[in-house]
Amino acid sequence: MAISQTTVTGSFKTPANTDARVMAVIFRLIGSDFENGELVTVNSVPSLVDPDNGDFQITVWPNDKGSRGGTSYNVTYIFDDASVVTGLSNVIVRYSPDPWTLEDLDFQMRASRQLAQRQIREVTAAQFDALTSPDPNTVYLIIG
């Protein structure tokens, strides 16, 4: 059976507002879990990078689809000057049909730490208004 997939995108800038050309963004899964009868195991996933500007796109397994929980990703960036930078660590990628950005993942990590075991759910104002009883363990982010 197939496992779920979610896309993460991004780009990098220098403090001078020029493109910081990334050659690779690598998500390394830490731990293993099951989804749809498949074992999703420790592995590194390299990104697709636009050689003209360094924008990247990567498709990874969303950790929240696991049956046991407890997996995360460590992210590494490799730039065109051969420098290697440790990026986000212990990242949980949640399933989404729309791409996440690195900023989205960072925000979710910081918010999750602050909100302990509460779930974060993005909804429109109309979807929130239509809820008969909001879940007290969910934080609702109202989006545009």
- Amino acid occupying residue 5: Q
Domain segments of the chain as ranges:
6-101
* pLDDT (average), residues 48-76: 90
* pLDDT of amino acid 39: 93
**Domain at 6-101, CATH class:** mainly beta
Does the pLDDT value for residue 88 go beyond 80? yes
Q: Residue 99: pLDDT band by 50, 70, 90 thresholds?
A: very high
pTM here is 0.76
Does the pLDDT value for residue 12 go beyond 70? yes
* pLDDT of amino acid 117: 64
Q: Mean pLDDT, the chain, as a whole number? A: 88
Residue 91's contacts (CB-CB under 8 Å, 6 or more residues apart) are: 27, 72, 73, 74, 75, 105, 109
Alpha carbon distance 75, 64 (integer Å): 17
* pLDDT of amino acid 139: 79
Q: Residue 43: pLDDT band by 50, 70, 90 thresholds?
A: confident
Q: Residue 129: pLDDT band by 50, 70, 90 thresholds?
A: confident
* pLDDT of amino acid 116: 62
How many beta carbons lie within 10 A of that of residue 13, not counting itself?
10
**Percent of the chain topping pLDDT 70:** 97
Q: Residue 72: pLDDT band by 50, 70, 90 thresholds?
A: very high
* pLDDT of amino acid 138: 83
